[in-house]
Structure 1
């Protein structure tokens, strides 16, 4: 019955209602043409570009998702840049311990129109956790249950099936680390300082440092206490 109600007009009306709800009433996000969000939360200043869909997603402040991407069951941090045609959190099929990978044998959702089980026998969906200031290139696929650290970069076309450490650059199928953006000490400083939690006013006042890594790290070394110290200590 629901499928019968789906047509270009009803789909457009549904998008329009969501655009008005999130953009005007909630003042949280801009939903470009035919993008949509179901059971999702926006922290604010977010944009979904055309034909992108979110389902059961938390999208941190200032993060955006480019066109034609599909994301479900994910928690995404602040200031993330997600490219077009990405697929994040697509669901899982069992590859070990089960004779068949077909959902009729482990899921009650009846993806193929029938099911032989009365309760779920396998965890089909696991939340994807994406940190802050993560750049995900075009056409990336991220498997369920993956964690991606702050500041990571995922190269276009990568298939991510293992966790990604903070500030690592990964590429390939399957994705592997090809370099680390900064030294261990610098990564630790960035994670401790967590600039993404600073106010917009602070960011505007200090925006010049974001184009000068050497200056930014010098600032952090003079601002943060030594490891084991108390935040706010001098030196």
Structure 2
């Protein structure tokens, strides 16, 4: 099999340890090493996994959310990778240039992160939706593609109205933006939201707020990246 990123062979040198490993490898070790796993970084925010200094427990963003909200609708976010330059390049190829198969590059990291932090909980997996217009433009929902890697049934509980891309907004504009989500269904009690990138946390909190209003008692999130 060939690496989905560099197209070099992903086959390891044959040893007794690898001879019977039938699982296809979607990414070579050289490309995989260029991503930075957050759990390999010394210290990060206990709420959202942003990298912070060792004397802190919460990042500035989470302190700001605590001051802004009476009750944070998002219980906790877990992320697999930092948003280094290499990740930015590969994410742009996946998300904006339609290279859907790249999602399998991150399958092992997503499943490991899920099993480590949520494996013993009965959570309903809910991907963050795109608006109908954005879905037509992109051809697929990157959050749903990532959610499918977890291997549990997905419930599309949220509906999203069209708005300007988050990447086009300033940090303040993102935080103050109107909630684009609604739901027509009652929510299960325990929810795991899935998205590609956690930036300010606004999108996930807006989704969590809607689901909490619809009956959810706890809303967690897992994202591929913490920027």
Tell me the TM-score normalised to structure 1 length. Answer: 0.22
> Going by fraction, where is strand more abundant, 1 or 2?
1
> Going by fraction, where is helix more abundant, 1 or 2?
2
Q: Which has the higher contact order (CA 8 A, sep 6+)?
A: 2
Structure possessing the higher radius of gyration over alpha carbons: 1
